[in-house]
Amino acid sequence: MRSFDELLVEAVALHGHLCPGQVLGVRMAVAGCQAVGVENPTQSKELLVYVEIDRCATDAIQTVTGCKLGKRTLKYLDYGKLAATFLNTQTRRAVRVLARDDSRDKAPTYAPEVRGKEETQIAAYRVMPDDELFVLTPVFLGVPQEDRPGHPVGRVLCSACGEGVNDRREVWRDGRVLCRACAHGAYYTPLAVREIAEAIPPELERFGQL
């Protein structure tokens, strides 16, 4: 594996700026890969990574590991936790790496000469021992066939909207196959639907006539 400084430079180039999350992300990725026995992650075909937050560290983890959403080797779970799980699919070894909250309080001890909260964390996180920064937990991680890299294992059409759904993400309800947006509600609202809703007179809405 390349040196920490080389990895950090590459991570910062992808992310756009240096921050504590970049330092943590690089070190998390290095620690995780070492723990599961992946020495050259960007060239490995055995590594899968599950990240639990959409913050700075995730960009650094992607840089170090070479795992990507588009390749289905990087998985995102919206837990809001600065943690990631690294899986060696060949050996089945997996470890979850969690950033310790108390590392922020310890940062001034490792960089007493540095001024500024963020600058102190950047300097401290470079040198703090792994056990002061992270909690490493060996875990079992089963990966369903539909979540593995490779060609889609299935594709169906939603009976409501007609859009295609890959990799068994469909929902069956009352004998109908639905996409998750039609089954549970989408994160978006088509403009035409919103315009119609906004045109409904408030008094009709209040009396439940529409």
pLDDT in tens, 22-53: 999 999 999 999 999 999 999 999 999 999 99
CATH class (in words) of the domain with range 4-145 = alpha beta
Measure the CA–CA gap between 88 and 130, rounded to whole angstroms: 20
Q: What is the pLDDT of residue 210?
A: 43
Query: pTM (2 decimals)?
Result: 0.88
Q: What is the pLDDT of residue 208?
A: 53
DSSP-assigned letters across all residues of 131-170:
HHHEEEEE------GGGSSSS-S-EEE-TTT--EEETT--
Percent of the chain residues past pLDDT 70, beyond the cut: 91
Q: What is the pLDDT of residue 192?
A: 75
Q: How far is CA 87 from the centre of its chain?
A: 14
Domain ranges of the chain: 4-145, 155-206
